[in-house]
Amino acid sequence: MPDNNVVTVSGLTKYIKSKLENDVHLQKFSVIGEISNLTVHRTGHLYFAIKDEFSLLNAVMFKGSASALAFEPKNGMKIVATGRISVFEPSGKYQIIVSSMSVDGIGDLYVAFELLKSKLEKEGLFDVSHKLAIPKIPSKIGVITSPTGAAIRDIINVLGRRFPFAKVIIYPSLVQGEDAAVQMIKALKFFEKARCVDVIIIGRGGGSIEDLWAFNDENLARAIYDMTVPVISAVGHEIDFTICDFVADLRAPTPSAAAEMAVPNTVDLLSKFENVNKRMYSILQRKLEFLTQKYQSLKRSRMFEDKQFFTERYQLLLDHITERLISVTGVRLDKCDSGFKSVVVKLDALSPLKILSRGYLIGQNKSGDIIKSTSAVAEGDSIYLKLYDGSIDCTVNSIVKEEKHG
């Protein structure tokens, strides 16, 4: 450092970098904390922050070291990172270059997230059967987000480009901090009561787990579940998941994607309408040609020109049908008559009178009961004998019983 202490910014940064990177205590050390704001670069490098309750330390783990990890780092994980301090000169920020990392536990926010997710899932708040269908062509779209964030600009741009006919109603709300969940619930209740939109987009851009925590609020989740207007959740980037994503009727990976899911593409619709119009015209054209040909054919036909021929032809057809009905009816009657006679013969054979005509008698006492055994009468009793052509009044003089054999 010069004696007058006047240096350039880059000179001062280089001096601090030299001091920090040459400090023996900072060349290799381990730090414990919670992973936050994790980004996996396309090169394979990991960029994230290690934080505790009071401070945050930027960190980078290059591909060579990251590929050797035995686990997949996630936001909220509590880890022990080993590495060295370095200074990134363009921004003047210091960070830890992580060479190795191990899991120490799971952060408090991550634990809270998993507990709430498990609870609501068991209650059925994530069931697919409860989710509402997103309308194919909505006329009004509600948007709940910050009026100053990038998300609202992305949503409006996509909606305007894809389907400018839809009206967008924005309900400005905080999307981060203690009051954010309360404001978003208020916005949902407004749209539910007003019934002024066909679908609702709720969300914000990406951030750390702390930035997105309002979308893990239990009351907000229950408010979304109770909605009768379909809700699209659009929170963060594609890798970010919140409770709102699980309970909403549809989850979009980004706010821009939510806008694309909410409305159809005008170009695609016009193309479909044009195809339908062409098909309808073609069908009607073929139908008209068919009817024209049929008309000409009938016009040339003798049936059309000669009314007498037409009448005679259908009179013959009517006579033929009448004869067929008479024939079928006669066959049916003959069959029924034959069956009836057969039943009469069987009944006659089983008739008691028929049996009496062959010389059999039926004995009855004074009460009219049929006598079936010699034990049913006594000497001197008056009985009646029923014959085929009448009855005889008798008195019992004697009783002879026969022994049964076998």
Q: Give the pLDDT confidence of 17-68 residue by residue, as tens digits.
A: 899 989 999 999 999 999 999 999 999 999 999 998 889 999 999 999 999 8
Average pLDDT of the residues in 215-236: 96
Q: Please, which pLDDT band fits residue 186 given cuts at 50, 70 and 90?
A: very high
Which of 109-123, 274-288, 303-317 is the least confident region? 303-317
Q: What letter does residue 395 receive in the DSSP assignment?
A: E
Q: Please, which pLDDT band fits residue 287 given cuts at 50, 70 and 90?
A: confident
- What is the Cα–Cα distance from 36 to 203, expressed in whole angstroms? 20
Residue 294: HSE in the Cβ half-sphere, 13 Å Cα cutoff:
6
Q: What is the CATH number of domain 9-106?
A: 2.40.50.140
What pLDDT is recorded for position 196? 96
Q: Quick one: 58 exposed, middle or buried, by C-beta within 10 A (0-12, 13-18, 19+)?
A: middle
Backbone angles phi, psi at 355, to 5 degrees: -65, -40
What pLDDT is recorded for position 391? 83
Q: Which of 131, 141, 146, 123 is nearest to 214 (CA)?
A: 146
Q: What is the CATH number of domain 112-127+137-264?
A: 3.40.50.261
Q: Where are the beta strands (DSSP E) in 194-343?
A: 199-204, 231-235, 250-251
* Type of residue found at 1: M
CB environment 66-90: b (16+ within 10 A), e (fewer): beeeeeebbbbbbbebebbbbbeee
Integer CA distances (angstroms), 307 to 19, 294, 296, 302, 311, in order = 117, 19, 17, 8, 6
Q: Quick one: 14 exposed, middle or buried, by C-beta within 10 A (0-12, 13-18, 19+)?
A: middle
What pLDDT is recorded for position 215? 96
| Per-residue model confidence as pLDDT tens digits over 370-383 | 888 888 888 888 88
